[in-house]
Every structure is written in C-alpha cells, then in structure tokens.
Amino acid sequence: MIPADSLVEVEEHQARILDAVVRLTTERVDLRSAAGRTLAADVLAARDVPTFDNSAMDGFAVRFDDVAGVAPGRPVVLEVVADVPAGSSLDPALLPGQAVRIMTGAAVPSQADTVVAFEDTQEGLSDGSGRITVLAAPRERGRHVRRRGEDVAAGDLLLRAGTRLGAMQVAAALSVGHVAIEVARTPRVAILSTGDELVTDGSDLAPGQIPESNGPMLADLARSADATVVRTGSVDDDDASLLRVIDELSGTADVIVLTGGVGTGAHDVVKSALGSAGLMDFLRVRMQPGKPQGFGVTATGQLLFGLPGNPVSAAVSWEVFVRPALLALQGRSGPSHRKVRLRAATAWPSPPERRQYVPVTLDTTDPAAWQVRPASSGHSGSHLVGSLARADAWAVVPAGVDRVEAGALVEVMLTV
C-alpha cells in the first residue's frame, strides 16, 4: 500500500505497474491476418531467399566470357536459343556464343552466369529476333543475377520474439516459408469514464455538464496499441454502480481503465469505491499534468488504472503508464515510444518541482533542423483539450527546469 500523501517518481510508478504485468497466453494464427500482433517466438527462415538464382532484370542470360570483351565499336553478336519467363521451370542448354531471353524473376539457366540488360543490346527484347548485339559489357561476372540465399538463408533468424508484425514483417515471414505464426493473445480493454457531469448523447449541456470525450480518445489509443476494446461507457458518481460494473467485467477484460474520480475531492467515486474495496492504491506522481493516479490488480489478475479526468491529463497518463503495460502484456520488445531530442522553437515555463509533459507540434520546415513548439499557448494545462487536436508529440521537460528557452534541446516522445 502506497501512503496517500506520498509523491513518487514517474519511473517508480511505471515499474510498479510493469511488475504486475503477466504476459498473455499465446495462439497460432494465419500469418496473412497477423498484422498488429506480437510474435511469441523467434521466426527462423524455412527456406532460402531467393530460393533459386534468378534474373534481376529483363534481358538476356549469357556466359560472361562471351561478352567480357565488348567495348564501344566492338559489339558481340549472340544467338538467342530460348525464352525463360518468370515462373517457368525451363533450364535450357546454353553453348558458347548463345543467349537466353529472360524476364525479371525468372530462373537463370544453369550454364549462364550473367544477365545483360535489354537496353545494353541493339535489339532489346524483340521477340522476333534470333540474334542480339551486345553493345555494353557487364561490369563483372554475375551481373544482374540474384543468387540463391543471398538475402536470407534457411535457418537464419528473421524476426525476434516480441516484434510487432506489420505489413513488411508479414511479407518477409511469408517469403521465407511460413503460413502460420505464434503470437500473443490480443489484450482486452474496458474504458469507463466517471462523473455525473458527463453527457454522451450530444444533447444541450445544462450548467455544470461537459461532453464525454475521454472514452472515445482512449479507445482509439488502445487500438493503436493493438488492443481490443471490449467496452466503453460512463458511470455515475455512485460507488455501488461502479463496483457492479467492475464485477461485470471480470473475465471479460484484461485491463480496466477509469478516468476521473482519482483526486482528493469529496465525490471522487473511483477513489471512494475501489479504494474502500482494497482494489486500487492512489498516489501522486511527480509529473504535470497527471499527478493523481490510481492502480491496482484484481483477484483474477485484471489491471486497474485510475487516470485523472481532465483530457490532457488522461492522454499523457495513458501514454506514460497504460500503453507500456498493454505492450508488456503482449511481450513487446523495445521501448513503448520512440524518443528524439529536438530544439524548442519558442520558450515556455515549466514547473520545476515536477516533470512536465507538453503537447507539442513538430515544425519540419527545415529538414536539417526540426523544432517543436507547444500546441497551446497555455502549454501543459490539464484542461486544454484543444492542444491535443494540434499535437504531434509530447515534449518531456525534467524536474528542476523552470523555463525551456528557445533553441534548447528537449526530449520529445513521439506518438506515431
């Protein structure tokens, strides 16, 4: 149990969350529908790539010794004895002084060792010509020939466990002979926004009411972390209602994220209901925005996150605490975000007692010197939802800095 009045570092809270993560079970799936999944085991090449020597160009398969002496004003004429299109199993004989017309990707005849591109001949790829005149010599033996296994050899490590499968990784795994793959199960996430003031149906707002935006925002962020959203919705400020919903999600969700109700107010339902039930600890993290946080684990192993209700606070809390947990559940390797150091295009203040997360826009006008600027004139206020609409990333300013000067290097946490 963390003392309620404690102030912990970001890394301390992250570590506590990740220590509670238990990797999800694995399953075997069709590789062609595995994009977005995380590899549960290393992938080794089942075959060579290329699987046979093949032509890298449309041209003519030849013996290098026949064309090595070609020079300006000294062409060589060869007899065309066969055609080999891509996909053909033909392996025509090739005697000295002969050539085989060949297409890109077609198997190079066994007795050829070089390909002359059609543009280096007088006749090109004319089907009606029984002879070709080679005008330019290939630079070396083996020119324009892709050798068997030169990219990947059977048994080579192609992809490591923990890799996210994207379009390129799926294509590579298919190319080395796989059709099914072992991946982590997809995390199931429920997202609940709390508060009597929330309006979800777009109706006119009464005094004190606000539109509910956290749920849709976090649901999209969950999907960007390759999770499945099993439930979204809002819950009134009622302890019994919230506990009932949590109970309903037992066995349905691996992660339950609640926004709002985690502070010190008299009607903070998440703190009241889940704290009293012993399901969640509440603490203050040395960050701005996002200082109030809640976290717990149910008896059945569900991760419970209590995030602040203000949208900027909820967004940054998701990126810093929830996203890393979702990736860890899948066994994802590497950091949860790419980080770069860029110069500040303008100055802004920072609270020296806390780490600051600022929604920023990337200024890529100068390709050699990208810069960042706050997405809002209010910089990192937790209520400035308009800044999220303009933000490309988060600038991370360490504690102890009271002002970021224009031109200063800042760490930037990318969200794409």
pLDDT of residue 279: 95
Q: Cβ contacts of residue 270 below 8 Å, gap of 6+?
A: 194, 242, 258, 260, 261, 262, 280, 294, 306
pTM of the model: 0.89
pLDDT of residue 388: 85
pLDDT of residue 344: 96
Give mean pLDDT in consecutive 10-residue pieces for the chain, a chain of 416 residues: 72 97 98 97 97 97 97 96 96 97 97 97 82 95 97 97 98 97 98 80 74 88 97 90 93 95 78 93 96 95 96 95 98 94 95 95 91 78 69 95 96 91
**Tokens found for residue 74:** 């000294």
CB 161 within 8 A of CB 62: no
pLDDT of residue 384: 62
pLDDT of residue 4: 53
pLDDT of residue 381: 52
